[in-house]
Structure 1
Amino acid sequence: MEIAIKLFQFILSISILVILHELGHFLPAKWFKTKVEKFYLFFDPWFSLVKKKVGETEYGIGWLPFGGYVKIAGMVDESMDTEQLKQPAQPWEFRAKPAWQRLIIMLGGVTVNFFLAWIIYSCLSLFNGEMYTDLTKFNNGIGVTEAGKKMGFQSGDKIINIDGKPVERLENASINILLGDQVTVLRNGKEVTFPIEKEGVAEVLKQKEAKLYITPRFPMIIDSLASPASKASGLAKGDKVVAVNGKPTPFFDEVSTVLSENKGKTIAIDVLRNGKQETFNAAVDKDGKLGVGVDQKALASVVTDKKYSFGEAIPRGFERTIEALTMQVKQFKIMFNSKIQGYKNVGGPIAIVKNMPVDRAADGGISINWAAFWSFTAMFSVWLAFLNLIPIPGLDGGHVLFTLYEMIVGKPVPQKVLENAQMIGVIFLLGLMLVIFGSDIFKIFAGKL
């Protein structure tokens, strides 16, 4: 049931984005009286699931859910149909239109993607606001994992800025640190600026919960006993852990560190109970856990729930769109950094489906988290806009590049060059898709997905 809901969300999101992206090409093409032969959601090699011709255009749904396309007469595209290009150009063909009209047609898809993200983010800001973990409320600083320490952080640091820019939200900061060069923290009362060690970034990216290398520091107060071993230990709800094996551990991250060092062992835990300190022996499981639930009230104290008026939501939606776009651009730096080897963490459709957000009810029921769905759709819309603008033949950016060349030089790129470039681009993109799918399949068998 869960995988079905996640798959439905993915297909729905992709369908919305593809249809609107292709409309961005379709509408200006029609406006400039250019013949559009096909408008398809998903690709249709050999056959289509549904098709119907209306006027001069065939509308349909393909069976290969990797995107979609509009086939514009007189244009070298991924269909590689060059027969009509051997004939003299007709007034209704793409190649017969002025360069500025062709440029508008090609930029229509990414323009729609950008504005769609802006609209979605503005609506989310207006109707849902933004809930985030506020770094300015981290009175005890941050707790960091061993991977975080390799990056240069120390437990107790208070993050001030990343690459010279002030930070407020943990959710953004934890990603921007991975993409950044240096960070400034308040450490023992002094400002310290240090470079972000890429070996530590690579270590963080290997973890399934990569964003959790930084957490707020708060005392560990037991809220529930979840395992038979924890119930037998004598620990009780409300106990505040203050030391493990005689080592003071005033904060949860320090308790976690000691527990990870004592997997499968029995440890002595000092707790405060009703104002008195008591000691209990407890078993640590093979994963470094005590089998207890931790009081989350301290976490709630560092959360900010920000609301926006209509006038504030629109500019905030624009800011969120730019933030998402900037994040996509920065991620390329991680992918091609030899020390980080971020390309190993690239996920394809299978990984995306697996990570689609859902709501889980107390009775075990699963439903769609619509706010998270629309947030994902907005982010993915920005991603599609950025990806399509990369100047690779086969993508919108490749067509834009050739058109700009024509506008600057004053003459079009030779037809044969366009055809060969398109063929190379299509082969490259197909190869990239195979690599990404192969990576997903490998991770499934390796237990990393």
Structure 2
Amino acid sequence: MEILIKASQFILSLSLLIVLHELGHFIPAKLFKTKVEKFYLFFDYKFSIFKKKVGETVYGIGWIPLGGYVKIAGMIDESMDKEQMALPPKPWEFRSKPAWQRLIIMLGGVFVNFVLGIFIYIMLMWSYGEEFLPNESVNAKDGIWVENALAENLGLQTGDKILTVDGQAVDKFAGLTLEFINGNNYQIERNGQILDKEIPEDFISQLMDRGKNAGPLIYPRYPFTISSISEDSPNVGSDLKPKDIITAINGNTIKYFDQAESILQNLKNKKVTVSVKRGNETKQVNLEVTEEGKFGVGLAILPGKDLEKLGYYDLADIKYSFSEAIPAGWNKSWKTLTDYVKQLKKIFNPSTGAYKGLGGFISIGSIFPDEFSAQSFWTITAFLSIMLGFMNLLPIPALDGGHVVFTLWEMITGKKPGDKFLEYAQIVGFVLLLTLLIFANGNDIFRLFK
């Protein structure tokens, strides 16, 4: 059922983005009296799931869910209609229109994607605002918790306060991992000393090798809150209960779980007395420490609201009026775009290992939640819309960006590329895109088996 919910959201989001993108080409084509022969969601090689002709245009749904298209008369595109191109140009054909009109038609889809992404982010800011754990709140307390080798290899230690990445302060604690992915260096405060450190070039490769279930790179420091007691724990039957918060061990006060870890390493195979906060009361509980230096219990990762109630951190809860949501949505869109461009640059640098993170339909579908949430759905759709807009701007033949480059060349030089050249360029572009598609989805399959 979870897979079905994810897949349904993915298909709905993708379909919406494709239809609106193609509508961005369709509307200016119609305004400039250019004949549009087909308007399709998905590709219809050999047959269509649905099609209906209205006026001069056939509207339909194909069976290959790899995108969609509008077939504009007199344009060398994915249809590769050589017969039509061999005939003399007609006044209603794309190739007969002035270069500036052709440029607007080609940029229409990208324009819609960017406007749609910005609009969705604005509406999200207006409707939901923003709620997050500020990085400054973590720094104002006692810094981060480091509990994995990758964070240690990065040069981080428990208690560090992350000040900047690439010279820029990071507002949201949850955004730190992405900043490390996109960044080259960072600055921390450790025991009152300011330290500058480099991010390893292969950091993304190391991050990908951990696997998707490895957990966050870094955590805020959490209280020692019990989630459960293991069946093989020596403390089964003790007065310890889920949601209890251990605040002292043998009289040694602890505020965070990581402090308990170091204390317990010196108390292996011993009996201890712990102070437990349970609701509004504090109890003393006798426990046994295992030979590994543990209690045999699970740690509860408390949500931000609970941490705030306990006085550990102060959450940011920002509400926007509609006028305030406009610049907030714009800033979110710009941040999304610039982060995506940074990641794309690293993908083209093999030494970063970022290519390992390149994913296809499985990866995109997996970012949707197991249960439908309007806020999550529209947030992901806004991200995908901006991503789709930028990808289509890349100067690759077969993408809108390739057509834009050829049209701009014509406008600057006054020389129009020949039809044969455009046909060959289109083929090369398709081969590149198909190779990328196979590689990205191959990565997905590899990760599934791994």
Name the TM-score, length of structure 1 as normaliser: 0.88
Structure 1 residues 256 and 415: alpha-carbon distance in aligned structure 2, compared to 1, 3 A threshold: farther
2:220 is matched with 216
The corresponding residue for 1:426 is 430
Aligned residue for 1:60, secondary structure, equals strand
Whether the 8 Å contact between 2:51 and 2:61 is mirrored in structure 1 is yes
Give the secondary-structure state (helix, strand or coil) at the position aligned to 2:82: coil
| Paired position in structure 2 for 1:365 | none
Task: Indicate the RMSD between aligned Cα atoms, in angstroms.
Answer: 2.9
The residue number in structure 2 matching 1:8 is 8
Q: How far is the alpha carbon of 1:251 from its aligned partner?
A: 2.8
Counterpart amino acid of 1:251? Y
Please, which of 400, 404, 407 is the counterpart of residue 408 of structure 2?
404
Segment drifting more, 349-358 vs 37-46: 349-358
- Quote the offset at 1:283 in angstroms: 8.2
Answer whether contact 2:247 2:253 (CA < 8 A) is retained.
Answer: no
Going from structure 1 to structure 2, the CA distance change for 1:257 and 1:357 (only over 3 Å counts) comes to farther
Tell me the amino acid that sits aligned with residue 229 of structure 1. Answer: D
Pairing 1:85–2:91 present: no
Among residues 135, 146, 151, which one is paired with 1:148 in the alignment? Answer: 151
Q: How does 1:42-441 map to 2 (within 5 A)?
A: 42-138=42-138, 139-144=141-146, 145-207=148-210, 208-209=212-213, 212-222=216-226, 224-230=227-233, 232=236, 234=238, 236-237=240-241, 238-240=244-246, 251-253=256-258, 271-273=274-276, 274=282, 279-282=287-290, 290-296=297-303, 297-298=306-307, 301-359=313-371, 368-441=372-445
- What amino acid sits opposite 2:331 in the alignment? E
- C-alpha distance in structure 1 between counterparts of 2:101 and 2:95, whole Å: 10
* 1:226, distance to aligned residue in structure 2 (A): 4.9
Q: Which range moved further: 166-175 or 20-29?
A: 166-175
Structure 1 residue 225: deviation in Å? Answer: 2.2
The 3-state SS of whatever aligns with 2:23 is helix
Query: SS where residue 352 of structure 2 aligns?
Result: coil
Q: Deviations over 1:24-77 (max 9, x none)?
A: 000001011111000000111110000000111000000111110000011110
Q: Deviations along 1:182-224, whole A, 9 cap, x unmatched?
A: 11222211222211123444322323157711111133132x4
1:113/1:312 CA distance change after superposition, 3 Å: same
SS of 2:329's partner is helix
Q: Alpha-carbon deviation of 1:278?
A: 5.1
- In the alignment, the residues of structure 2 paired with residue 258 and residue 406 of structure 1 have an alpha-carbon distance, to the nearest angstrom, of 73
Aligned equivalent of 2:279: none
Distance in 1, Cα, partners of 2:79 & 2:260:
59
Secondary structure at 1:113 match in 2: helix
CA deviations 1:347-384 (Å, max 9, x no partner) are 2112222331133xxxxxxxx11100000000000000
Q: TM-score, normalised by structure 2?
A: 0.88
> Can you list the C-alpha shifts for 1:395-423, whole angstroms capped at 9, x where unaligned?
00100111111111111112111110101
Question: What letter matches 2:201 in structure 1?
Answer: K
Q: Distance in 2 between matches of 1:307 and 1:19?
A: 32
- Aligned equivalents of 2:207, 2:274: Cα separation in 1: 32
**1:291 Cα deviation from its structure 2 partner:** 3.3
What is the distance in 1 between the residues matched to 2:399 and 2:263? 51
Cα distance, 1:167 vs. partner?
A: 1.4
Cα separation, 1, equivalents of 2:308 and 2:257: 11
* DSSP-derived class of the 2:88 partner: coil
| Contact map agreement 2:223 2:245 (CA 8 A) in 1 | no
Matched residue SS, 2:216: helix
- Amino acid across the alignment from 2:380: F
Q: Is the 8 A contact 2:133 2:172 kept in 1?
A: yes
Amino acid at match of 1:31: L
- Once the 2 structures are TM-superposed, how far is the Cα of residue 233 of structure 1 from its aligned partner? 6.6
- How far did 1:235 drift? 6.2
Secondary structure of 1:116's partner?
A: helix
Kindly indicate whether the alpha-carbon contact (under 8 Å) linking 2:19 and 2:41 is maintained by their aligned counterparts in 1.
Answer: yes
In structure 2, relative to structure 1, the CA distance for the partners of 1:185 and 1:126 (3 Å cut) is same
| More divergent stretch after superposition (201-210 vs 85-94) | 201-210
Residues 393 and 421 of structure 1 are in contact (CA less than 8 Å); yes or no, is this contact kept in structure 2? Answer: yes
Distance 1:267 1:194 in 2: 40
SS in 1 for 2:219: strand
Aligned-partner Cα distance in 1 for 2:70–2:344: 28
- Alignment partners' CA distance in 2, 1:240 and 1:183: 34
- Give the total of aligned pairs: 431
- Structure 1 gaps, min length 5: 360-367
Structure 2 vs 1, CA of residues 257 and 408 (structure 1 numbering), >3 Å: closer, same or farther? farther
> Deviation at 1:279?
4.6
Distance in 1 of aligned mates of 2:46 and 2:10: 24
Work out the CA distance in 1 between the residues paired with 2:181 and 2:262: 22
Higher mean Cα deviation, 389-398 or 334-343? 334-343
- What CA distance in whole angstroms lies between the structure 2 residues aligned with 1:401 and 1:256? 60
SS of residue paired to 1:42: strand
For residue 93 of structure 1, report the CA deviation from its aligned partner.
Answer: 0.7
Distance in 1 (alpha carbons) for counterparts of 2:208 and 2:186: 18
The 1:17/1:254 distance shift into structure 2, 3 A limit, reads farther
Partners of 2:272 and 2:352 in 1: CA distance: 38
* Cα distance change, pair 14–103 in 1 and its aligned pair in 2 (3 A): same
Q: Which amino acid aligns with 2:54?
A: V
* Identity %, equivalent residues: 45
Q: List alignment gaps of at least 5 residues for structure 2.
A: 277-281
Q: CA deviation at 1:249?
A: 7.3
